[in-house]
Amino acid sequence: MIDEQILKPVMSERLIGLRKRCGVSQKKLAADLRVSRATINRIENGHLLPETPLLYSLADYFDVPTDYFRAVSEESEKKSAIRA
């Protein structure tokens, strides 16, 4: 299992990148997904990992596989294993 402290920044970076490339504001994304803007903000700031239903909604919204948000480098996984 991937360490949450490694996964949060990956999720943050990927979500910000997708949202900006698509020209979607946090407010619009939140409204379209029926979540609060604060939820999107907390994910983008690395304070929150989305629950599974929201993860699937984000993947559907941006037409990417859910693994796109969870993909971390092997190096990050090794560091996580060493700390455990």
| pLDDT tens readout for residues 61-78 | 999 999 998 876 444 444
Distance of alpha carbon 31 from alpha carbon 29, whole angstroms = 5
Number of domains observed in the structure of the chain: 1
Q: Is residue 45 predicted with pLDDT exceeding 90?
A: yes
Query: For the chain, what is the total number of helices (H) and then of strands (E)?
Result: 6, 0
pLDDT at 57 (0 to 100): 98
Give the per-residue pLDDT at 37.
98
Q: Which domain holds residue 21?
A: 4-83
- How deeply is 1 buried, as exposed, middle or buried, from its count of CB atoms within 10 A (0-12, 13-18, 19+)? exposed
**pTM attached to this predicted model:** 0.81
Q: What is the mean pLDDT of the chain?
A: 86
The CATH number of whichever domain residue 48 belongs to comes to 1.10.260.40
